[in-house]
Chains A and B, each alone.
Chain A
């Protein structure tokens, strides 16, 4: 399905929650949505028969210097089409609802985004650090991350 058609479908159904389509220079195209409605849009994308995006390819946190974003890449086994979804978040308290009840595949990737960016996924079944030790301070993939000098008394 064409990205523009999909964008129009979503816009028709969710109105203002669907913000814009990033098409030029983006492969696949991204539908930018409001963070609060991520879960319902995700559920619609998965359940609607014409869309049936049953597989979450990739979930990434991104640090655009003024704001954060969570980028979702989805794929449909039935219709063999793919689309991206993006939600921009404020830097101070980045948080949005989880999609791990829509796609269980999201769980580890959300934990990774939380670990490396500090993005909180509300309602997640298990949100804790995954790659870094439990007591690490800071979120390394942020652009303004400063390396700590010491960790448990060991010079880093």
Chain B
């Protein structure tokens, strides 16, 4: 925009996209400085949901900490539960029974599906199409029903345990899971037809907030955000943990199909495609799952050896890395949780220069952040 001499003087406006906002996916505050509709600076202000989870980890035992990990990312609670379990098992070198690992993978992938459904639904709702959100909720309710069958909870599952899982799959669970997968798979094509390739939707997302692959790695983006920029790195394939090597699935990478590689549309499509891959994984897991115990023998008063371990797993919103320092007592000495959403916010200020206010909403939605993960 060129300013003509003798034009009316203009002033930049500072707007507060406050903690309470329908589109900020939680209590995120963004302080926008705009020149009309164009944003010159967008500073995120996080911390409204800080609950001192890391400090709490130093006060409770390893087993008692499991419900706290649910609240870390409540939309992918199974993944966070399992991340904590895997970290403690890595530190204490505990052998987990195979059936438990299969159950963990099944619930993690199902939870990935339901988390991506929310990401998809809320993103399209932010863009103004209110209908896909309710279709996503309808599908997610079925996943919740499956989890309710398994562990009794619909949102904060507290399912994994150090050494296995808390309960075995009840009879009928695996059949119901297969039924759900058969029902859900064609729905993805329906969503693509309804909204993903809709011209208006594509125009809102394409070429917005393009992040190059080098930037994505340097700024610490992980998960679908990293893969949306074309970097084919998936922890389940490249640093496999648990029994992921047994499954055959693709790593979904952004292709720049409707704009530039690394724009919001690519990150969105990576999530849609990841749901398809998760369906594949769950199908294989349900077919291969062996019989056996679901919980290893872990002493009641559990004291892992002195040492430090860092374990990261692929959660729907990025990688959740837990750096655990143990001093041989029943409580952890230091517990640091590195979440995908927190580090993703690093790039927010850089990437939003020059965008319009409507695009800020598109960017927040494409990163699929969730505030409990950021604030812990």
Q: Which residues of A pack against B, CB within 8 Å?
A: 22, 25-28, 30, 54-58, 60, 62-63, 71, 73, 77, 80, 84, 103-109, 112, 116, 129-133, 140-141
Contacts and interface: CB of A to CB of B under 8 A. Distances in A.
Interchain residue pairs A-B with the least CB separation, the first 3: A105-B220, A25-B307, A60-B336
Given A25-B307, A58-B310, A80 B220 contact: no
Contacts of A104: 218-220, 346-347, 350
Given A27-B91, A104-B220, A104-B346, 14 more contacts: A25-B307, A27-B308, A57-B319, A57-B321, A58-B323, A77-B233, A80-B239, A103-B218, A103-B220, A104-B219, A108-B342, A109-B343, A130-B46, A131-B46
B232 to A, nearest CB: 10
B77 interface: no
Contacts, number: 91
Nearest to B43: A126
18 contacts: A22-B308, A25-B306, A27-B310, A58-B310, A58-B321, A60-B338, A71-B336, A77-B217, A77-B233, A103-B220, A104-B350, A106-B220, A108-B345, A109-B343, A116-B54, A131-B375, A140-B55, A141-B54
B47 interface: yes
A108 B308 contact: no
Interface of B: 46-47, 50, 52, 54-55, 90-91, 217-220, 231, 233, 238-239, 305-310, 312, 319, 321, 323, 325, 334, 336, 338, 342-343, 345-347, 350, 375-376
A140 B308 CA distance: 22
Contacts of A140: 52, 55
A106 B238 CA distance: 23
A66 B343 CA distance: 29
A60 to B, nearest CB: 4
Contacts of A60: 323, 334, 336, 338
Contacts of B309: 26-27
Contact of A73 (B54, B233, B310, B376): B310
Contacts of A62: 325, 334, 336
Nearest to A29: B308
B312 A57 contact: yes
Given A54-B218, A103-B220, A140-B52, A131 B47 contact: yes
B338 A109 contact: yes
Nearest to B52: A140
B334 A63 contact: yes
A77 B334 CA distance: 27
A25 B305 contact: yes
B211 to A, nearest CB: 12
Nearest to B336: A60
A60 B305 CA distance: 21
Nearest to A26: B308
Nearest to B306: A25
Contacts of A73: 310, 321, 323
A26 B347 contact: no
A141 B376 CA distance: 13
Contacts of B375: 131
Given A62-B325, A131-B47, A140-B52, A105 B219 contact: yes
Contacts of B233: 77
A45 B38 CA distance: 39
Contacts of B308: 22, 25-27, 30, 71
A60 B308 CA distance: 13
B22 to A, nearest CB: 24
A138 to B, nearest CB: 12
Identify the interface centre among A73, A116, A130, A140: most chain B CB within 10 Å of its CB: A130
A108 B343 contact: yes
Contacts of A129: 47
Nearest to B324: A27
Nearest to B334: A62
A58 B308 CA distance: 14
Contact of B217 (A22, A55, A112, A130): A55
B46 to A, nearest CB: 6
Nearest to B307: A25
A77 B345 CA distance: 21
A22 B323 CA distance: 15
A154 to B, nearest CB: 16
